[in-house]
Amino acid sequence: MALDLTGRQRAFRDELRAFYAKHVEPGWRERCADFEELGRYLLDWERVLAGAGWSVPTWPAEHGGRDADAVERAIFTEETARFDAPEGLNRLGKRLVAPVLWQYGTPAQREHLERIRSGTEVWCQGFSEPDAGSDLVNIRTRAVRDGDEWVVDGAKIWTSFAQFADWIILLVRTGAADSRADGISVLLVDLRSPGIEISPIQTISGRSEFNEVSFSDVRVPVANLVGDENQGWAIVRSVLQDERGADYCLARYSDIRRILTDVARDVSAAKPASAVHYSRLGTDYARVYAIQVLASDLLERGQRGEAPEGLESLLKLYTTETWRTLGDDQVRVWGSRYFDGGPAERLHDYAESRHYTISAGTSEIQRNLIASRILALPSGRRKGA
């Protein structure tokens, strides 16, 4: 993406390039024999990033970040994709938990920020449940006040990296069973607490990025309540906007651009090369680079306070559907060989292209949000549902 950079932005880019050139190991994915080893590698990388001041470039300087503007965020993504650099293990802590603590946390709760920045404390997110996936107002995990503690019972599912995490930001019901959005609270829970069990879930990719986390009489200090009791839905909405917003899509862009390079190499190597494949490849290039343009535009609007509600859903839908299209195009080029002896990393990429249309809000949910918040169409939800 061609940009007319300021002196500060050019210095930002040059410093990042020098860091990546020195520290990114070519073929780092292949050197990790299994998902557990990959997790340890990504955790070590978090600390390398933190030591060089690149852990949280988008954070405010007062919290150890670089106050990166919209262009610098685009530069960060572009260079990360160029060097195929790891994202790190603590992306949920840095991208989702930290903004909650800045806006809603107490001074004691904000003490977690430095540990998140340094990579010494890894976080996961406990929102979805076995019977409440995208419709979070139906959560059943319950927290009951008992003196100076909450007692938590229930289960969360699809919890990314929980097996490596130290803490979880947890959505619980503190109101009546039928209180829906009006009875939800947010707790910060130490995963070393008695009564917590973490069960990895093996996905179609063969990896166990997701987990089910169960809570049985887990005691959490009252001081770990974020914001006010039964007022957690506003926090949830802000988290969901960040989860599927510009930074999320820019992070996915790094993976998508790498896959686009693979598709282009496959098309060039196909014998005979298909005109249809080249046509689809041209479309793929346009879609992938549109992600960066749209995400950068959303960041700039956000910095000016002009981002319309629902635009993050449009970008999330476009990004994950583009990834799925790339997966389909890889299969078209390879044919049955893709699933019968094809490269393991590409099989993983294909599986990832499916689950990202579900995680952080399904494509169907995003279309509903676009319809209601951007197009002002009436909701399709039945009254009382």
Options 243, 300, 309, 321, the catalytic residue = 243
Buried b (16+ CB within 10 A) or exposed e, 98-137: bbbbeebbeeebeebbebbbbbebbbbbbbbbeebbbebe
243 is a catalytic site residue: yes
| Longest Cα–Cα distance in the chain | 73
Asked if 6 and 70 count as a contact pair (C-beta separation under 8 A), the reply is no
Asked if 230 and 175 count as a contact pair (C-beta separation under 8 A), the reply is yes
Asked if 57 and 76 count as a contact pair (C-beta separation under 8 A), the reply is yes
The 8-class DSSP code of residue 370 comes to I
Upstream peptide bond of 272 is cis (omega within 30 degrees of 0): yes
280, two tokens: 């689809």
Asked if 224 and 207 count as a contact pair (C-beta separation under 8 A), the reply is no
Q: Looking at the annotation, which residues are catalytic?
A: 243
